[in-house]
Structure 1
């Protein structure tokens, strides 16, 4: 974000509009557009973030991480003594992660910071609490979470202006 954009963001915050006044992350100042366009753009961005997160995370967990010596399924078995439960309620985590990627970040760098925070807190808390969650797992997974969010943020950053043109 350039210094000019930061200044505009700070001014929007000071003018009493709060986060809702920023708008830059969802529809870049198109207050003349009908509400349905804002909602549709936000929905499309949210779905795009969910797809990015799910697809990239699956590639990481099934292909890249094992090649680096991290088998999440074996780690879970070590931690809890049984295989991964695969309960549908786990999808709530992705719904929240998609929300964070879509509505809390304005560009890839902001997204990377969110990924670092989310994954870092989870991984190092898990390392503290569970014997099977090693420092290696925590470090690699935190790096992965940072990259995952940066890539997702970049996709959204590139998609936002296109949505402005299309809708």
Structure 2
């Protein structure tokens, strides 16, 4: 496997997990529990969450980081990541608004904005890490 993709994946993965952990576990916990109440589980379904994170990060690498190879800028990478985040999070939130009682517009707006920020930022970090010249490490 090309180490570029591995570094891109790991950079985006670590960034996404740290940011989402802080967002969901500390910063926005009260907001989501206050707005969604009984819709939320007390503990996440971790196997499902892990599958989501693994697949979503692959999407970031494929749709935001990979197209910028050799011709991208940080702005381009952020823009492509932010657009991917907008589309993914809007799909989730709009579907929930269309099918669930109690999924409010305020939750959708905050969540979509978060998707833009976290995906754009994770894209930049993954790109930056991937563009670091490889060393003579046995892992390359």
TM class, shorter-length: 0.7 to 0.9
- Matched positions, count: 125
Alignment correspondent of 1:121: 91
> TM-score under structure 2 normalisation?
0.77
**Contact residue 7 and residue 130 of structure 2 kept, 8 A:** no
Segments of structure 1 that go 5 or more residues without pairing to the other structure are 1-35
Instruction: State the Cα RMSD in Å.
Output: 2.2
Contact 1:73 1:83 in 2 (8 A): no
Q: Residue by residue, what CA displacement relative to the aligned partner does 1:31-79 show, whole Å, maximum 9, x if unpaired?
A: xxxxx5x2x221222122111111100111122224xx5225972x523
Residue number in structure 1 paired with 2:71 = none
Higher-Rg structure is 1
Does residue 110 (structure 1) correspond to residue 69 (structure 2)? The answer is: no
**1:57 and 1:124 mapped to 2: Cα distance?**
20
1:165 is displaced (CA, Å) by 4.7
1:60 matched to 2:23: yes
Deviation track 1:93-149 (CA, whole Å, cap 9, x = no partner) reads: 101111011121131110000000000110111111111221111110000000001
In 2, Cα distance between the equivalents of 1:161 and 1:65? 33
- Which of 35, 43, 48 is equivalent to 1:89? 48
Give the whole-Å Cα distance in 1 for the aligned partners of 2:34 and 2:6.
32
By relative contact order (CA 8 Å, sep 6+), the higher-ranking structure is: 2
**Do 1:108 and 1:151's aligned partners in 2 also have CA atoms closer than 8 Å?**
yes
Aligned equivalents of 1:50 and 1:139: distance in 2? 24
- The list of structure 1 runs, each at least 4 consecutive aligned residues, that deviate by more than 6 angstroms after superposition, is none
